[in-house]
Amino acid sequence: MACRPPPRPSPRSKDPVPSIEPPQPPPDGFPEVWSGSPFRGAQPVPSAFRPEHDGVHDWQQYRGAVARYKWVVVLVSTVGTLIGVAATRFLRPEYEVQATIWIESHDPRTEDRGPIRGDQLLQASSWLQLLRSYVVLDHVVRDLRLYVTPALPADSDLFQSFEVAAPFRPGAYRLAVDESGRAFTLFTTAGDSLQHAAVGDSIGNGLGFRWTARAGALLPGRVVDFTVGTPRSAAEQLARRLRAKTDEAGNFLSVQLTGNDARHVTAVLNAVVQRYVAVAADLKRDKLTELSKILQQQLQYAEHNLRSAEEVFEDFRVQTITLPADRVTPVAPGVELTRDPGVAAFFNMKVEREQLRRDREAIELALAQAADSAASWDALSVIGSVQQSPGLMQALKELTDKQAEQRALGYRYTADFSRVGYVREQVDTLERKTIPGLARALIRELAMRESVGDARIRLASQDLRQIPPRAIQEGRLRREVAVAENLFTTLQQRYEEARLAEASSIPDVRVLDVATPPLVPVRNTAPGVILGAFLGSMALGLVGVVRRDRADPRVRCPEQVTHDIGLPILGVLPHVKVRGAGPEDEHVAQVIEAMRSVRLSLSQTHGGGGPMLVTVSSPGIGDGKSFVSANLALAYSGAGQRTLLIDGDVRRGSLHRAMLTQRTPGLTDVLAKRAPLERVTQATSYTALEFISAGTHFRDAPELLGSDAMVELVTRLRGSYGVILVDSPPLASGVDPYTLGMVTGSLLLVLRTGATSLELARTKLRVLDRLPIRLLGVVVNDVRPRGVYRYHSYLSGYGTADEAEYAMGPPRVRGVL
């Protein structure tokens, strides 16, 4: 075993050759072999067993599973599609109807033009809420009886007169007519009888139903199942089914409704939009009517306030008409200032009184000066009051005349002249008696007039002081009248406008496009159901076959060998239908060519440096290890290499039958020293191929395989043969294959598609990690050229044949064993 070449990594393995680990204790089941084995102290050989897992392998395995079970997938998909087609018979197409409502919007720029009309009822965003309001939908539900649902659409004509009264009992009911057609019975779904009456009577009186079937509708034996719900719940369902949207300007409201019955859903939508327009018109009319009533009440109140204010103002004017007032007097053209007569009279009296005082004081001053000196009385003549006194002015004139006459007489006569004296006496009388007396009388008159003026001024002053409060009160009353008049005028105008708007009110919404029954459904679920059934069943089939494949413990595809087990595949052997056929048979030719490929791969993997010793085994029984061993030996011998095939299955070996030789004596006989090597080595009908059978069965045959005699036998055979193949029992049979693998140092594993258990192979191969056995690779047996294995077959027409004139002796290729 010292000349055995060092182990090399698998050609398909990316892992470097690990370092040799120190010897480990033998595994369970090997005590006898290891206790006295010549291989004591041998180190384990790094195994190529490296399970790999990646996503690519998973997808490849999935594709392989689908390819293997494609008819199962097709069958499941077909059945699922047929179920989907059958299910579409219970589905009804869905129709969609649409109606358009025009919403009038008021433009503030055109309010001053056109007829008088009321304001817009709602804002643009509120029209959608009105559409889904119960004042609209409840009416539609009751008119169309949407709260009652018959089980069969054909029974809808029976409920044309169906109505409910509050309170009523909702629920599911069954109406059954007896065979005679004269009586009916109303049941609950639980079978409880609620009413039994003659045909023609009201149905469901005690339940709140107002329902009388039309004549001839209740035929003998007719059974009608129906469900009665509340109108509000039906309105809620209708609101959820309605879809509405407005444009950006809010002038167009698009309403859509879907359902299974095209005519019914059209009737429902038209009823909704008509009720919607009617409700909008009623709301606007009611709004204008209420507005007119409110304005009328406000107008009456404003009129009452105006009359009260006018009466109070009138009474005030009547009471103060004779009193001074600070009223504005119209200004005459060309006059800059116009004073109030009362105020002017007051100031005139004050001026007059002041003038009287000054005149009085001037007269008194003149009298005082005249008494103290011979002052002139001419100063009196310039006083206004003196000028208005005829007597005093006449006296002053006489004084002036007499003084002038005196001066004239003085110029002509002497003082003794009588006329001069007489004139002098007259002047003196006037100056000393007449004028002072008249002046004093005038002073007394002026003083009296002054006192009278003071009294008048005091009275006028009191009147003038009352003018501002009266003016303020008058202004307040005047404003109250103006405000009341303005309010009355405004309300009267609004009231008239409201009456005109009410009389000629135009609805804010109108139906622009009514709904029409569609001919083509908007949503036909039948194709989708069929497609979904097909895809679902296909997915179910794919998942099923993938799970079935993952649960399958047997080898199915090459990736399971290279990735799950982690071993390289040295060759793939096709399925052989007839082993006895000659090399001219297509299947036999495929096997022969596959064996040549295995021979090449095995030789390359094993390497040179001496004869090739290989143990051939498999995880279980029936994997074809003996078939591979025999035909591989035949392939090596056909290549001109001297080959020895040893049947190492000392328990139940039967390879001698394929080689047409004797079972005894054989391997156990030479190991037990009961027969020489030359006697147990048997020639075969194939050139360069010799065979050693299993030999006689012994109870301790496994110990013989691990004895020194086995090592000595192999050592002797190495010098005589170029290729030594040992057919061992399966790995699951016991210790024999491991012992033979340690003897040869190399192991070739045979797996059979559809037969070899992956878990068994993994379990048995883990033991090799602790043994000095080099695992060369795997030969996949019994492969059918389809699916992932279709590329492992060989092209037909490239088989070998001997021409008669160039034949080189007897043919060496004789088929398969």
Give the whole-angstrom CA distance, residue 495 versus residue 291.
8
CB 774 within 8 A of CB 568: no
Task: Give the E-state strand segments of 575-668 in sequence order.
Answer: 612-617, 643-647
pLDDT at 708 over 80: yes
- Comparing 4-18, 33-47, 590-604, 669-683, which segment has the lowest mean pLDDT? 4-18
Percent of the chain with pLDDT over 70: 77
Reported as a single tens digit per residue, the pLDDT across 662-671 is 888 888 898 8
∠ CA 395-399-400, rounded to 5°: 120
The pTM assigned to this predicted structure is 0.46
Give the whole-angstrom CA distance, residue 147 versus residue 236.
11
Confidence label for 448 from pLDDT (cuts 50, 70 and 90)? confident
The answer to whether the peptide bond before residue 167 is cis (omega within 30 degrees of 0) is yes
Q: Identify residue 315 by its one-letter amino acid code.
A: D
What average pLDDT score do residues 249-272 get?
85
CA dihedral 318, 320, 322, 328 (to 10 degrees): -110
Instruction: State the average pLDDT for the chain.
Output: 76
CB 177 within 8 A of CB 222: yes
* DSSP code at position 491: H
Q: Which of 707, 715, 730, 760 lies closest to 648 in space, CA to CA?
A: 730
Cβ neighbors of 245 (< 8 A, separation 6 or more) are: 253, 254
Q: State the pLDDT at residue 37.
A: 42
- Comparing 180-194, 451-465, 688-702, which segment has the lowest mean pLDDT? 451-465
Q: Report which listed range, 352-361, 735-744, 783-792, is most confident.
A: 735-744
pLDDT at 457 over 50: yes
Q: State the pLDDT at residue 724.
A: 92
CB 126 within 8 A of CB 283: no
Strand-pair partners of 467 = none
b/e map of 747-783 (b: 16 or more CB within 10 Å)?
bbbbbbbebbbbebbeebbebbebbbbbbbbbbbbbb
How remote is the C-alpha of 474 from its chain's centroid? 72
Alpha helices in 321-383 (DSSP H): 341-372, 378-381
For residue 714, give both structure tokens. Answer: 């192999």
Other C-beta atoms closer than 10 Å to the C-beta of 498 total 21
Give the whole-angstrom CA distance, residue 475 versus residue 163.
70
Q: State the pLDDT at residue 165.
A: 83
Q: State the pLDDT at residue 585.
A: 67
Give the whole-angstrom CA distance, residue 392 versus residue 435.
6
The full DSSP string for 678-728 is HHHEEE-SSTTEEEE---S--TTHHHHHTSHHHHHHHHHHHTT-SEEEEEP
What average pLDDT score do residues 547-565 get?
69
CB 735 within 8 A of CB 603: no
Q: Identify residue 139 by its one-letter amino acid code.
A: H
What average pLDDT score do residues 691-719 get?
88
**In this structure, are strands 746-752 and 612-617 parallel, antiparallel, or unpaired?**
parallel
The full DSSP string for 80-121 is HHHHHHHHHTT---BEEEEEEEEE----GGGTTSS---PPPS
For residue 596, give both structure tokens. Answer: 């040549």
Give the whole-angstrom CA distance, residue 13 versus residue 469.
122
pLDDT at 551 over 70: no
Cβ neighbors of 320 (< 8 A, separation 6 or more) are: 470, 474
* DSSP code at position 213: P
Q: Where in the chain is the domain with CATH 3.40.50.300?
A: 44-51+602-785
Q: Which of 782, 472, 737, 469 lies closest to 627 in space, CA to CA?
A: 782
Give the 3-state secondary structure of 264-328: HHHHHHHHHHHHHHHHHHHHHHHHHHHHHHHHHHHHHHHHHHHHHHHHHHHHHHHHHCCCCCCCC
Cβ neighbors of 89 (< 8 A, separation 6 or more) are: none
Cβ neighbors of 353 (< 8 A, separation 6 or more) are: 450, 453, 454, 457
> Out of 3.40.50.80, 1.10.760.10, 3.40.50.2300, 3.40.50.300, which CATH number does the structure's domain 44-51+602-785 have?
3.40.50.300
Confidence label for 725 from pLDDT (cuts 50, 70 and 90)? very high
Q: Which of 41, 235, 22 lies closest to 144 in space, CA to CA?
A: 235
Q: Report which listed range, 97-106, 308-317, 493-502, 735-744, is most confident.
A: 735-744
What average pLDDT score do residues 545-549 get?
75
For residue 592, give both structure tokens. Answer: 């022969």
Handedness of CA 757, 760, 766, 770 (dihedral sign): negative
Other C-beta atoms closer than 10 Å to the C-beta of 346 total 21
